[in-house]
Structure formats: structure tokens, C-alpha cells
Structure 1
Amino acid sequence: MTEQLKKVFGIDLGTTYSCISYVDENNKAVIVSNAEGERITPSVVYFEEGGNNIIVGEAAKEISKMYPEEVVSFVKRSMGDENFVFFHEDTEYRPEEISARILRKLVNDAQENLGETIEDVVITCPAYFGINEREATKRAGEIAGLNVIQIINEPTAAAIAYGFTDNPDDQEEKTILVYDLGGGTFDITMIKVSSEKIEVVVTGGDHNLGGKDWDDTIINYLVEQYHEQTGKDDDILLDPETFQELQLAAEKAKKTLTQRTKTGIAFTHGTDRVKVELTKEKFEELTAHLTERTVSLTNLMLDEAKKKGVEGFDEIILVGGSTRMPQISEAITKEFSKLPVTFDPDEAVSKGAALFGHQSIIKDEIIKIYNSMATENEEGPTFSLGSDTSTADKEMLGEAANEVATKFNFSLGGVKSALNKTIINVSSKSFGIVAYNEDDEQVVFNIIYKNDQVPTEVTETFTTREDNQENVEITIKENEVSEQQLAIEDATEIGMALLDMPPGLPRGSELDVTFKLNEEGRLEVTAVESTESRQVSTTVETKSVISGEELEAAKERSKAVKVS
């Protein structure tokens, strides 16, 4: 009897919309519809009175017209922000816990739809997310009761989905730009795709640029029209109900203008009823600066790619729902003289995450069987993920792959493809420590640089500043700068470690500082004093991410609430 391989679900936890998928028996990524029969779910959360009933999705979006102060949207933009707190009936909710409600909605509906329990997931995040945001995303999954196998970058996930559908047997390597404009975030990433690997070259973007900004521009225009038509100058956006009505009207108008040349918008504030006609031409004029910003960021990313020896690209693929706006494709075509390919805008990221998880599980099964065979044959050390495959016994790996294919009724070619396909990512940030430069000024010295391949491990040597120095404070900073040194104010503190020093050391005694960054963006820092080999190690976990008692309380609340 054929066994069933454990499913890993891919989740695109989006700013405005989210979705969930898995890989079926035909090795195809499939989106799971929600309880309303829709393939994507609005990332909007409504807290009912009492706090034990949570409504997520389209219903919450509609309810926001009546109870805007009880609804949270666009929470993804606040992931990792220790200053963001939503209050509901004397309870504080951090972004991680609110995001966990969205995850619960996706998972609950998928479980009901498929008739099975969901535990293992791969969740995506924007490529430029730093340690704070990535850790917050993982904690959201934990609060939702999920086993988060990995956090992967959205453009990488899209490239995986693209690589599985665009001539998967084609051996020729192509360099593609993944232009990912979602509801609240923008990523632009250069990726090399072939049948054997998906390699990220460079990535860039802006976590505060997305379809919401196009909506906000429409809202500002509607406010201007209100002032002109009524002759009043009051700030109508201070009224929560009016603001919510304008938000929904702006999003609807934006979507309408992707298909039509004009649309009518009507809204009420107090006793005033305002009607506005918005043309496609006017909309594009109002938002031209936003479109140009994405092009500018793309050019900056291309400049970084040239520094790594990559001078051009073959294709541009568009993902993210906001790329449906015609001006996006037009601007890219004009700037780069290439017609972009619209690729599954709303679903590619989730599908790519599912494919990534599926491949990971297949690899684990192959390695498990290989290790069992190696132990039986007394072949020495076992093989594991991350090992150099060239040193492994290829014949035994082939046998293990064949056994996995038979065991789960997969094609042997598909199983071998999962084993051989390599995904190479890069760091989205630079990481360094605070030290004194040659002018005796405190600066940040970068050790790992933005767009360095990950995983990576780098050691740099520093020296003590004083005779008989008792300890060294290692302040760890994250930044966007690709230079060796930068001002302290241009970086964000993400951690600190204190190393006690042996007594009697002279000024200039050496200290080796090692930064180790893994594929998920988790950073481990080790500092070793060379005289007595005293050592301090820390895994950077930012204070801005929910933890400790607060995390446990969030988990308990999550178990107690009903999400629909």
C-alpha cells in the first residue's frame, strides 16, 4: 500500500491578502479555498465584543465600515515593531498575535476543506525583512499553533513556483527579475533559475511601498474634492467611519481602473454627500511618483548586481496583486525595453512556499533512508542536509531516491529533482558591531554585508581599547549599507553580548568576532578572547519581538478564541 507523504503547507502571509497551498499527488501546487469559497483571504481582523470571537477576511472588511476601531488591517507593515500595540477591551495585542489570527483562519478553513490536520508550514516574508520582522513572523506561526519549518523570501518562493512551471526540464540558466508589488510591500530581486538551482543574486525593495500607497493617494484626492465641493476645511480623515469608507472606496476604484477608463466614487461625511469621477489618466498622474519609485529601486538593485558581475537579465516576472495596475507593466516596458510576464500574481508566492516545503520533506526522506543504508553497510559518517553531495555515495543516494519514489508513488524524476535542486539565497541586511575607528570615533563595522550569500560565517579581529580592560560590550547592529563603516545612527541595534576579559591584558589585545547567518536570517554571534580563549555566544533575538511570559499568554489566548 502506498504511503502518504506528510504535507507541508505554504502560506503567503500578505499585507492585504493571504493564502495557503499544498502540493498534491501530481506534484502540483494547489491553492486551498477558504470557507467563503475564495482563493485569497483579506488580511483583516475584527475583534468581537468579549474578545473570544475573531472574524478574519472579507466579513471583517465589511464590518470595518460599522466598527472601524475594532478592526485591524495592514498589520504586516508593523511586524517587528515594538511600538505597535492594538488595544481591545484592556488587552494589548502585538502584531505577531494579530497575524496569528490570520494564520488560524487560513489553516482552519483549509483543514475543513481537506479533512485533515495541518501542522507543518512554510511562511513567506518580504526579502528585505530583517531579523526583527522574520522572528516576529515565525512567532506568529507559533502562536497559531503551527510548526514553522522555515521562513522564506517571497521573491524566492515566486521564483520556485516559476521554475516549476516554466520549462522545468530546460537546462539553460536564465536570469530573471522578480518584481513583487503587494498590497503593502515592494521587493525587487534578481534570481538565476535553472533545472538544478535557484540562486538569488541581489535583492532590494521598500517595506513601506505597496498597493496601499496607491489607495492612500486616491484617498487624499477624495479629501481634496470634498473640500472643493463643500467649501469646508475640516479633516474628514479624523472620523474613523469616514476614513474606513474612503479606504474601501479607494481600493475598489483602483481595481476598477485596471479594466476601465473611469469610475465613480460616492461617500458621505456627516450630512455631506460627495460624488467624484476618477479617470484612469488622473489616477496614473496622481500615482506616477509611486510607480517611478519602484523603477528607481529596480535600477538601484541592478547597480548592485553589476558589482557582483551580473550585467543583465533575460526576463521580468510580475507577482503581487498590485502589478495588475496597467501603469506598472507600461513603466517597466518603457524603462527596460522588455515586456514583463505577469505570473500568477496572487498565488505564486504561496505555491512556491508549498513546493519548497514539499521538496524539503522529500530530501529528508531520502537522507533518512540513505543514512539507514550507510549505517547497515558501516560506511562511516552519515549524510545530512548541507553536506557536500559530491562526497556522498551517489549510488546509495540513487537507491534511496528510488525507494522514496516507490514508497510514496512519486515519479523517480520528480524525487531526484527535489534532491538535486539547490536554493541559494542572500542576506537582506548588513550586520556589524559598534567599535572605534582610526579617528577614535564610535562607528558600526559591518561583518556580513547585504546581498552576501547565506548561509555564511565570517570572522573579524578587533582589539581592546584600554589596558586592563575588564570586559567588552559587543553591540550588534543591522543596517542597509554595503560599506565597511557607517555612522551609528544609520543602523538599528538588534542585540548585545558582554565578554569578560582576563586580568592584566594590555591595550590592543585581540578579540575574534564571528557572525554566522543562516538561510532564515537568524544570526549567531561568537566572540573569543585569544589569550585564555574566553568566549561569549549569543543568538540574536530582538527585544521588539514578543517573547517570554507575553508569548505564552498570547499562545493561551489563541487556544481560547474562536476564529472564523
Structure 2
Amino acid sequence: MSDENLTFFGIDLGTTYSVVSYIDETGRPSVVRNVITNSETTPSVVYFEEDSGEVVVGAAAKNVSRVYPSRVVERVKRSMGHEVQWDFDGRTYTAEAISALVLKRLAEDARDYTGREVRQVVITVPAYFGMLERDATRNAGRIAGLDVVGIVPEPVAAALQYEVASGDSPRTVLVYDLGGGTFDTTVIRISADAVEVLCTDGDQELGGVEWDKRLVDYLLSEFVARTEPEDDPGEDEQFMQELQLTAEELKRHLSSAGSRKVPMRFGGAVATVEVTRDIFEEITRDHLERTVEYTERTLGKLAAKTGVADPAAAVDEVLLVGGSSKMPAVSRRLTEKWPNWKPRLHDPDLAVAKGAARFALSRALWDWERAGEDEPSAEEKQARVADLAIRSGLDEAALREMAAKRIVNVLPKSFGVKLRDSDDPGRFYIEHLVHADEQLPSGVRMLHAQTAEDGQTAVQIEIFEQAGATESPELDANKAVDRGLGEITGLPALRRGSPIDISMVIDDEGLLTLRAVEPGTGKDLTIEVRVSILSESEVEEAREVVAGITVRS
């Protein structure tokens, strides 16, 4: 990208819909419209055309899913960080590769819309994504041929976009983010010079699609009860695909209307089912209550971290983000639970992408951190702002305001090492060194461990990440980090209980470094690992495959 065409892009890579935003000539975020449908959002759906070497991404792929459901991949975001694969026409695709096809289409739309090549981007993730899921998202961008300069939690991006129009007074904001496929709540402190994440919680298996599924089940059961068809419509893929799309549209309609009649047909059976908002809210009440439980848990974390007696009262503002937060029951239930709150819908479909573009701009201003340089002086920072203003064509005053704002993230899940229980040699457990909701970079965390047996000449070190919603030392509540295994060898026969010093640090981009030392000999081990599913060679191989695929809207 030439200096004259320097543009900052943010991508909200959603479970059901994705959005691209960029910083326009006025210094404000603007949303890219899909060149085919002229829509601001693009369905995160991929259709593999049979034996053509081409794929379709977006609304057309979603529509054709009614006819060819076995050749369509939807909601791939829920598989990020997991070893899941799809096979089409003799070729295997990982979740990262499928997501890369969506990103490739989004980048091409952005290029066509802005007239500028899309290279450097920031991609958003749910706040509760662990390091595996975050790096899978980063790798998806790399496979798509993009330079991913940052991965930012969705509520942070939304807060960045919100903060610009909200003055400079310090405040604590709770972001309630109910998207198509994930849910999280995050508490953020906004001050004149920083946007600081305090704590977060959530569920990557809870989102608007769960509400859709309840509507599908309700419509299906009502249709069967009224028509008693000879064949089971639930076994017909095309009928169920159409019903899924109907349910999604119905959910949106019930956010603004009290009821809707749904005509249904299967075989020779015909029926019209009326669904009221009251019915919809009743059959999905437990899903909404789960979001309230997570919100309560987040407030508990806030209390533990800050020491406030009444964490709900410490929240100055509540922002509703994500398309599913537009359901009227969301705001009503939150105010029932916390009467002093006044939840605000904050550009729920587009705020995340807009904030990601702002983050991309901020990343450019603070790229000395990314390059591992020492912090520049105030004069050097101002010179950098002036240079960036010239290269990007943006207003220098707006850039200077952004340069004053630091973004502080937290670790979403805990990391530690596997130890043997000295009281029960058959039991292993995890000692966590860096904990969830700690600020990144973490700083060095130390553990003074000991050898487990007499005569040891080697010490094995294995890194684990918290797998469940809460930190636990139990082995099965954690997952081994790929390439997070190493060994110190060639030691003299050590006595049981000999010291082994272990240190761990995680930077703000998720690079984890562990060092273990046997102090008697000075022999050591360093494991530097970006927590990931794919190896570097697998990323390169997938990049070549995706580069050779034509992606159409």
C-alpha cells in the first residue's frame, strides 16, 4: 500500500453477519457496503460450488443453503480454536480457512467500495475468546492474505466508537454484547487517556441463533400438531433450511411488532401459525436468564477486582451491542434486575466494526509497541502523528486526540503449568501463573517448583490454558497448549524436591514466553509460543489454497 493510499480497516467477523469499516477522509469510521446487495452487513455464510473451484460468500450463499445445505458452511466462528474440518471436492478446510474465505470477500468488497487495496486490518473477537480462538482468528486473516495488525475484543471496539461522542469525564461502562452466535459482558473504564478492560465473562455457544432455534422448534411443533403430515418435516433438509431463515426474519420482526402470522407448507399440508412477542419471550426466557447470570458474574469479578461493595452502582452506563440485543426483552429484563440502570442501544449492528477501524488507527499511532521499540518521547510522538496525518490524508487534530488514548486489554483465560501432587503422586494438577482478567502485557510471573522423584536427570514442562468458564486446578478443566511442551535434559541425578524456577509472561498480542531453570547447573528451557491450532507451514499451505479460489458475492 502506498503512503498516499494508507487506509485503516476494521472487520467485525461475526458468527452470522460480518461488517467492514474504514477511517474516511474526515477521520471518522465509515461502513463498507456490499457491492452486490448494497447492504452494510454480509452473512458469514460460504457456499462451495461443486467442482468449480469457486465459492460464494454472503446473501447468495445464505439463500442457496435452502437448496444445497450440505455444501454450505454457516456459523464457522463457533469452531474457531477447535480442530474441526470440512471436506469439499477432495479438499479439506479448517475453520481458519473457511473464515479466510469470508474475510477475502469482505476485503474485496472494501477494495471495490473505497478504491483502495486492503492490507492492514484489525479483526474483532468476542471478549471471552481464549488465546486459541484469538490466534485462529489472526491466522484466518493471514490465510486471506491480510496483515492483521491487531485482534481487539468486540466490547472494546464498541466502547471506542461510543467513547468518541461521550466527552472526557471518567466513567465505568458495562458492555452487554449479544451477537448472532456469542454473548459476553465486559466492564470497561474510560478515562481521558485510556480505555481499560477491567473484567469480562461470557459464552461462545450462546447467541441469537439459540433464540432462532427455539422459534424453529415452536413453528415445527405447531405445524405438525395442526396438520399431522404423513412424513416428518423435521427430516426434510430443505424444509428445515427454509424454516431456519423464516425464524431469523420472524425474530427481527417481533422486535418491532407484537405478532406475526407465518404461512407454512410441507407436502400437501398447509397451516398458518401466529407467533406473538409474548410467546417468543416465554419460549426463550431461559436463554435471557443465562445472560443475566453472566452479567451478575461479571459484576462479581468487578467487585473482587476493585473492592467496591455495590458493583452494579459502580457502573455509570450500560451499552447494548450486537444485533440480538435489539430484542425489547433484553433492556426490560436488565432494568428489572438493576432498576438504576438505563441500558442504551449503541449502533448495535455496526459499532463493533467502526470501533475496530478506530483501533486500527490507534495501532498505527502506537506501532512502536508492536515493533518492540522503546516508547518515543512526546516530541517523537507528535512528529509521528504529523507524518501519519500527511500519509493518510486525515486530520492531524483528530489523530492527536486518538494518540492520547491507550487501550488496555485483559487476559480472557488463565495459563499455567502441569505439576505432580507431592501428597498424591498419581495426581496431576495445573498451577496457574497468569490469571483471567489480568492486564496485558502480564509482567513476569514466577513459580518455584520442585522435582517429583529422586534421581531425575530431566524435567518436562507443559503449558495449559483454562478450558472452562472458571479457573480450576483440575487437569480436565484445562487444555494443553499445542507446542507448549519442552524438557530440560542432561541434568545430574537430582534429589526429590530439588528447585526448578519457572517464569511466564504474556504480551498484549498473546505471545506467551515461559522459561524454566535448574539453578544448580544453570541449564534452562525457553518455550515461546503463540497459542495456536495451526502450525506455520499449515497456515502457508492454506494461504496458497485460498489465494487460488475465486470468491463471489
TM > 0.5 fold call: yes
Q: CA deviation at 1:510?
A: 1.4
Q: Aligned pair 1:532/2:533, yes or no? A: no
In the alignment, what sits opposite 2:414?
430
Deviations 1:81-130 (A, max 9, x none): 11x22221222211111111110111111111111211111111111111
Answer whether contact 2:510 2:530 (CA < 8 A) is retained. Answer: no
1:479 matched to 2:481? The reply is no
In 1: Cα distance, 2:228 partner to 2:390 partner: 75
Match of 1:509 among 478, 485, 498: 498
Determine the C-alpha separation between the residues in 2 that align with 1:541 and 1:517: 9
The 1:402/1:542 distance shift into structure 2, 3 A limit, reads closer
Aligned residue pairs total 539
- Match of 1:555? 543
Which of 416, 440, 460 is the matching residue for 1:454? 440
How far apart are 1:405 and its partner, in Å? 4.6
Deviations 1:371-415 (A, max 9, x none): xxxxxxxxxxxx9977786xx643454455455556656544323
* Alignment check: 8 A CA contact 1:96 1:137 kept: yes
Asked if the contact 1:515/1:523 (under 8 Å) is kept, the reply is: yes
Are 1:99 and 2:99 counterparts?
A: yes
How far did residue 552 of structure 1 move? Answer: 3.3
Aligned match of 2:266 in 265, 269, 275?
Answer: 269
Look up the equivalent residue of 1:486 and give its one-letter code. Answer: P
Residue 179 of structure 2 contacts residue 323 of structure 2 at CA under 8 Å; is this kept in 1?
yes
Identify the residue that residue 374 of structure 1 maps to in structure 2. none
Aligned to 1:464: 451
Residue 238 of structure 2 corresponds to which residue in structure 1? 241
Task: Tell whether the 8 Å contact from 1:497 to 1:536 is kept in structure 2 after alignment.
Answer: no
Tell me the secondary structure at the aligned position of residue 475 of structure 1: strand
TM-score, normalised via structure 1 length? 0.90
Change (3 A) 1:482 1:350: closer
Cα 1:437–1:316 shift into 2, 3 Å: same
CA shift in 2, pair 1:30/1:384, >3 Å: closer
In the TM superposition, what is the alpha-carbon distance from 1:483 to its structure 2 partner?
8.1
**1 CA distance for matches of 2:415 and 2:98?**
29
Q: How does 1:156-555 map to 2 (within 5 A)?
A: 156-167=156-167, 170=168, 172-231=169-228, 236-309=233-306, 310=308, 311=311, 312-337=314-339, 338-364=341-367, 393-398=377-382, 400-402=384-386, 404-405=388-389, 410-440=394-424, 441-456=427-442, 457-479=444-466, 486-495=473-482, 496-501=484-489, 502-541=491-530, 545-547=533-535, 549-555=537-543
1:288-313 deviation line (CA, Å, top 9, x unaligned):
11111111100000001100114321
- In the TM superposition, residue 419 of structure 1 has moved relative to its aligned partner by 2.6
Give the residue type in structure 1 aligned to 2:286: H
The answer to which of 15-24 and 271-280 deviates more is 271-280
Cα offsets for 1:305-352 (capped at 9, x unmatched): 100114321000011011111111111111112121111111111111
Secondary structure, aligned partner of 1:476: strand
The CA distance in 1 between the partners of 2:187 and 2:372, in whole Å, is 24
Cα 1:204–1:227 shift into 2, 3 Å = same
Deviation, 1:239, is 2.3
SS in 1 for 2:496: coil
Deviation at 1:355, TM superposition (A): 0.5
Structure-2 change in CA distance of 1:65 and 1:3 (3 Å) = closer
Cα distance change, pair 259–487 in 1 and its aligned pair in 2 (3 A): same
Q: Which moved more, 1:432-441 or 1:102-111?
A: 432-441
SS at 2:129 equivalent: coil
* TM-score, scaled relative to structure 2: 0.92
Change (3 A) 1:512 1:51: farther
Map 1:71-90; keep pairs closer than 5 Å.
Answer: 71-82=72-83, 84-90=84-90
Structure 2 residue identity aligned to 1:472: V
Matching residue's letter, 1:497: L
Residue identity matched to 1:14? G
SS at match of 2:524: strand
Quote how far apart the aligned CAs of 1:475 are: 2.2
Distance (Å, rounded) in 2 between the aligned partners of 1:472 and 1:403: 51
Task: Give the deviation of 1:468 after TM superposition.
Answer: 2.0
* Aligned-partner Cα distance in 1 for 2:389–2:446: 42
In 2, Cα distance between equivalents of 1:233 and 1:480: 45
Letter of the structure 2 residue corresponding to residue 557 of structure 1: V
Q: 1:485 to 1:86 in 2, by over 3 A?
A: closer
Deviation of 1:148 after TM superposition, in Å, equals 0.8
Q: Which runs of 5 or more residues in structure 2 are unaligned?
A: none
- For 1:488 and 1:384, how far apart are their aligned partners in 2? 34
Contact 2:15 2:44 in 1 (8 A): yes
Which residue is equivalent to 2:147?
Answer: 147
Instruction: Quote the Cα distance in structure 2 between the aligned partners of 1:241 and 1:402.
Output: 57
User: What RMSD over aligned residues (CA atoms) do the two structures have, in Å?
Assistant: 2.3
Quick one: structure 1 residues 208 and 549, their matched pair in 2 at CA, closer, same or farther if it must change by over 3 Å? same
C-alpha distance in 2, partners of 1:286/1:493?
38
* C-alpha spacing 1:562/1:405, structure 2 compared with 1 (3 Å): closer
Cα pair 2:5 2:116 within 8 Å, conserved: no
CA distance in 1, matches of 2:125, 2:273: 37
Cα offset for 1:49? 1.4
1:272 deviates by 2.9
1:489–1:3: structure 2 CA closer, same or farther, 3 Å change rule?
Answer: closer
Change (3 A) 1:133 1:63: same
Gaps of 5+ in 1: 368-382
Question: Residue 166 of structure 1 aligns to which amino acid in structure 2?
Answer: S
Give the SS at the match of 1:486: coil
1:221 & 1:247 partners in 2: Cα distance?
Answer: 12
SS for the counterpart of 1:11 is strand
* C-alpha distance in structure 2 between counterparts of 1:196 and 1:551, whole Å: 37
Asked if the contact 1:447/1:484 (under 8 Å) is kept, the reply is no
Q: Identify which range, 265-274 or 126-135, moves more after superposition.
A: 265-274
1:165 match: secondary structure: coil
CA contact 1:449–1:482 (8 Å) conserved in 2: no
Q: Deviations over 1:425-483 (max 9, x none)?
A: 11100111111235333111111111011111312111111122122222221116798
Q: Is the partner of 2:4 in helix, strand or coil?
A: coil
